[in-house]
Structure 1
Amino acid sequence: MTAATHETAQSESTTLRTRLYGECDPMNYEALLTDAEQGELLKLRAFLETDAKPLLADYWERGEFPAQLIKPMAALDLITPASLTVGGAKPRSLYEGFRNFELARTDASLATYYNGQSGLFRTTVLRGGSEDQAKAWLPLIDSFEMTGVFALTEPEHGSDIAGGLVTSARRNGNNWVINGQKRWIGNAVFADYLAVLARDVADSQIKAFLVKTDAPGVTMKNIGGKMSLRMVQNSDISLDNVEVTEEFRLARINSFADVADLLRSMRSGVAWFAAGVQAGAYEAALKYAGEREQFGRPISGFQMVQDKLVGMLGNTIASLGMVVRLSQQQDEGVYRDQDSAMAKAWTCSRMRETVASAREIAGGNGILLSNDVGRFFADAEAIYTYEGTKEINTLVVGRAITGRSAFTK
């Protein structure tokens, strides 16, 4: 087969496939997915449309997570699906990115919950655990038989956590005794384990431990009064002389440099969220503009509305292009701090612009949950901040391109 014939056949195959993102992906980045990968995403789409979407407005307003979705989401087997792991293969970062995109396009809280397990907790065990630990626990994590969350942030330390982390771990024979507090730990109430980052009092280095959420000395309090990601159950967590055996210390995390290795790959997931939220907001605004009439015709025919829609679509396409390329690099084994930091900072800035335009297009009705745009507008604010603020990620990129660190001591 000649190169031209191959390209024609590939093009014909692509046009025969169901387009998942026809409205928000006119450049067809999804064509980079295999048929098997798209099949898994179609399975997720069906679940989100049928089971999840009807619940979102009600639970968002109540500030509760629809716990009845947890088991069905786990049963989808989307972390290491059989179709993508034939012969010991591993799912591609590109597939994982589009999985986050699909979730966030529907709801940022659902995406945050699922990625807490499939991204943050799994990455912590995969990259931070020994070979034996990863071998024992990853299959349980993938099946949701072992659930967990990532516990790094503290009440007084977020952006300065590298040097400011105060949660302590003290070795006592074969056990460790952990004391401290964690804050903003999403959906810990649904988890079996907390992946707690603590400072070893012996050498002042950061270590990681899997702490049972029901262990003596662990207390959790829900953080209420939120205007963003209202369905996510964020917790303040206290650890008072909590004992953990050495077998539950993640063997490959022995400094903050090791933690930074985790964050490097975690940030890419949040950048995919930002792209997905933009897609959801754009689709909701486009639908509203086609249905809403003023001055005797749909507002989608007004020049200023079209200008906003075009800007939103441009932001979404550009963000999607950036995260697609980031995932392709990761599939090639290239993980650089500046790449994930740039993607997180830039896509989240575009996300803010996009959801604001969606809110403007819907006018006064934009604050109603029934139109979706208000939910995307509010939830974008949390995504803009977590996994590193724009300022912190900008300094990471700035250090890489100039060779000079502008971080304060």
Structure 2
Amino acid sequence: MSIIQDIRQVIALLKQVDLKQLKALNEKVDLAGAMQQLSKMDAAQLQGLMKMLNSGGKRNKPLPEPNPDFYELSDKLTAEQRALQLKVREFMETEVAPIVNEYWLRDEFPFELIPKMGDLGLAGVTFEGYGCPNLPYMMEGVLAMEMARVDASIATFFGVQSGLSMGSIYLCGSEEQKQEWLPKMNRMEKIGAFGLTEPEVGSGAAGGLTTTCKQTADGWVLNGQKKWIGNATFADVIIIWARDVDSGEVKGFLVRKENPGVHVEKIKGKMALRIVQNGLITLKDCIVEEKDRLPHANSFKDTANVLRMTRAGVAWMAVGCARGAYENALEYTKTRKQFGKPIASFQLIQNHLVEMISNLTAMQTLVYRLSELQDEDKLKDEHASLAKVFCTLRTRDIVRGAREVMGGNGILLDYNVARFVADAEAIYSYEGTKEINTLIVGRSITGFSAFV
């Protein structure tokens, strides 16, 4: 086909436009100039223009659906487990997503969500009896991911309730204590907190607890402080870990909110997990009855058993935070246009997106295997620690990339990624810092302990 024939076809298409449309077009486009440019085009350029005009400027095929589960790891789940995953996803998208930025900005907790979460009946995910679901550890992780995908604060609230607090009672409590607390905590009629970290003791909790307990004729007397305790400002019961001044052993206690000698002050000014209500707990001659001492918590090894059980969930939370940031960023790049086309079509933006999905896929593969080890009763401290280190590091990379592809909009709460960027910093630090978890893995692979 000659260039003259190509131009004639273009003119023929333009002739199909009525005068009203042509007048409106002339107001937007310099038609004389356009015809001059047409005469300068070669055959290939004109054929491209013809193809665009004939298709109405539309893509020949729709854009692919977003698939953050790039290696289809959800295929590992049964149909029932997949349905539960999607049920929690729907809850997070319909009940949490519309209000989360408002509460995050105000540094407040959406208490209206608690009974709705209780209706799900999922707290104490892996526990048997007491109204708990008795699901595999795999599902505990998947549900943590789904919650953190929308909001890491809500995932943290649930993790404290379901894992740390209920887990302490489940692993270390008496049958009477389990019967009293676990069914109500499963339904979220009672809220729990977990008090281990202290103002001057975080990573060194194993050997450096300064909160003390002493047995007397009236019960146990607790003195000391706990800091960064999630849910503490409104919890009905706080698990307090203290060192026995007589034996030196670490013991666990159920401290009820009505106990005299307990004062909780909300920690303000946080830049991350702002919905989580962290408290500074002061215990001054706090009397706890013997019936509220956890009978199977008699050393820090018992505390570590609870932490080991929940640390895998933190790795899953990191995956959820990263996934939420990636999904928001991917959707943004498909709709945000610069230079006349979506920025997702640019090479540099695709490079960022591919780096994000690569890291996310590696993280997902790791945590799925981690939960398989846990379900096979093969989980070791170093397994959980490696996952916590790797996933929280890669989450930092992913949220940074998500913020970058969104440009200035990336720092606005309206686009969600700014919240993920901030919350990733908290996930990176809690349940064992990168350094402490690194030393746990290092000790395992070398045989040498580098702890001080």
TM-score (norm 1): 0.91
Contact 2:70 2:357 in 1 (8 A): no
Alignment of 1:406 onto 2:450: yes
Q: Tell me the residue number matched to 1:97.
A: 141
Give the one of 291, 306, 326 matched to 2:370: 326
Q: Tell me the residue number matched to 2:239.
A: 195
Mapped to 2, the partners of 1:358 and 1:88 lie a distance apart of 37
Equivalenced residue count is 386
Q: Tell me the residue number matched to 1:179.
A: 223
Give ranges in structure 1 of 5+ residues lacking alignment: 1-20
1:119-134 mapped onto 2 (5 Å cutoff): 119-134=163-178
Q: Render the CA deviation track for 1:31-51: whole Å, top value 9, x for unaligned.
A: 111222222222222221111
Mapped to 2, the partners of 1:136 and 1:26 lie a distance apart of 44
Q: Tell me the residue number matched to 1:24.
A: 68
Mapped to 1, the partners of 2:285 and 2:227 lie a distance apart of 18
Q: Tell me the residue number matched to 1:71.
A: 115
Q: Tell me the residue number matched to 2:398.
A: 354
Give ranges in structure 2 of 5+ residues lacking alignment: 1-64
Mapped to 2, the partners of 1:396 and 1:168 lie a distance apart of 27
User: Are the structure 2 counterparts of residues 96 and 238 from structure 1 closer, same or farther at C-alpha, using a change threshold of 3 Å?
Assistant: same
Contact 1:278 1:354 in 2 (8 A): yes
Mapped to 1, the partners of 2:364 and 2:67 lie a distance apart of 13
User: Are the structure 2 counterparts of residues 212 and 88 from structure 1 closer, same or farther at C-alpha, using a change threshold of 3 Å?
Assistant: closer
Contact 2:169 2:177 in 1 (8 A): yes
Aligned-residue offset at 1:74: 1.1
Q: Tell me the residue number matched to 1:269.
A: 313
User: Are the structure 2 counterparts of residues 368 and 42 from structure 1 closer, same or farther at C-alpha, using a change threshold of 3 Å?
Assistant: same
Mapped to 2, the partners of 1:352 and 1:81 lie a distance apart of 28
Secondary structure in structure 2 of the residue aligned to 1:208? strand
Give the one of 156, 165, 188 matched to 2:209: 165
Mapped to 2, the partners of 1:331 and 1:79 lie a distance apart of 18
Q: Tell me the residue number matched to 1:380.
A: 424
Q: Render the CA deviation track for 1:299-356: whole Å, top value 9, x for unaligned.
A: 1011111111111111111111111111111111122110000000110000010000
Give the one of 278, 283, 296 matched to 1:252: 296
Q: Tell me the residue number matched to 1:209.
A: 253
User: Are the structure 2 counterparts of residues 293 and 68 from structure 1 closer, same or farther at C-alpha, using a change threshold of 3 Å?
Assistant: same
Mapped to 1, the partners of 2:258 and 2:352 lie a distance apart of 49
Secondary structure in structure 1 of the residue aligned to 2:112? helix
Q: Render the CA deviation track for 1:12-66: whole Å, top value 9, x for unaligned.
A: xxxxxxxxx9621021111111222222222222221111111011111111111
Aligned-residue offset at 1:133: 3.2
Mapped to 1, the partners of 2:132 and 2:255 lie a distance apart of 30
TM-score (norm 2): 0.82
Secondary structure in structure 1 of the residue aligned to 2:183? helix
Segments of 4+ moved more than 4 angstroms? none
Q: Tell me the residue number matched to 2:88.
A: 44
1:267-306 mapped onto 2 (5 Å cutoff): 267-306=311-350
Contact 2:359 2:398 in 1 (8 A): yes
Mapped to 2, the partners of 1:132 and 1:337 lie a distance apart of 30
Mapped to 2, the partners of 1:29 and 1:123 lie a distance apart of 27
Aligned-residue offset at 1:81: 8.0
Mapped to 2, the partners of 1:88 and 1:166 lie a distance apart of 34
Mapped to 1, the partners of 2:257 and 2:73 lie a distance apart of 40
Q: Render the CA deviation track for 1:274-307: whole Å, top value 9, x for unaligned.
A: 0111110100000111111111111101111111
Two-structure CA RMSD over aligned residues (Å): 1.9
User: Are the structure 2 counterparts of residues 39 and 190 from structure 1 closer, same or farther at C-alpha, using a change threshold of 3 Å?
Assistant: farther
Mapped to 2, the partners of 1:149 and 1:239 lie a distance apart of 15
Q: Render the CA deviation track for 1:149-191: whole Å, top value 9, x for unaligned.
A: 1110000110111111100001013610101100001121221
Counterpart AA for 2:154: L
Secondary structure in structure 1 of the residue aligned to 2:233? helix
1:145-156 mapped onto 2 (5 Å cutoff): 145-156=189-200
User: Are the structure 2 counterparts of residues 80 and 379 from structure 1 closer, same or farther at C-alpha, using a change threshold of 3 Å?
Assistant: closer
Of residues 65-74 and 126-135 in structure 1, the stretch that sits farther from structure 2 once superposed is 126-135
Q: Tell me the residue number matched to 2:50.
A: none
Give the one of 221, 228, 231 matched to 2:265: 221
User: Are the structure 2 counterparts of residues 183 and 328 from structure 1 closer, same or farther at C-alpha, using a change threshold of 3 Å?
Assistant: same
Q: Tell me the residue number matched to 2:185.
A: 141
Larger RCO, structures 1/2 (Cα 8 Å, 6+ apart): 1
Counterpart AA for 2:373: Q
Q: Tell me the residue number matched to 1:9.
A: none
Secondary structure in structure 1 of the residue aligned to 2:294? coil
Of residues 340-349 and 135-144 in structure 1, the stretch that sits farther from structure 2 once superposed is 135-144
Mapped to 1, the partners of 2:217 and 2:398 lie a distance apart of 54
Mapped to 2, the partners of 1:59 and 1:89 lie a distance apart of 29
Contact 1:140 1:146 in 2 (8 A): yes
Q: Render the CA deviation track for 1:243-285: whole Å, top value 9, x for unaligned.
A: 1111111111111122111111111110000011111010000
Contact 2:107 2:275 in 1 (8 A): yes
Secondary structure in structure 1 of the residue aligned to 2:239? strand
User: Are the structure 2 counterparts of residues 115 and 89 from structure 1 closer, same or farther at C-alpha, using a change threshold of 3 Å?
Assistant: closer
Contact 1:169 1:199 in 2 (8 A): yes
User: Are the structure 2 counterparts of residues 300 and 88 from structure 1 closer, same or farther at C-alpha, using a change threshold of 3 Å?
Assistant: closer
Mapped to 2, the partners of 1:120 and 1:22 lie a distance apart of 34
Contact 2:125 2:134 in 1 (8 A): no
Aligned-residue offset at 1:89: 7.8
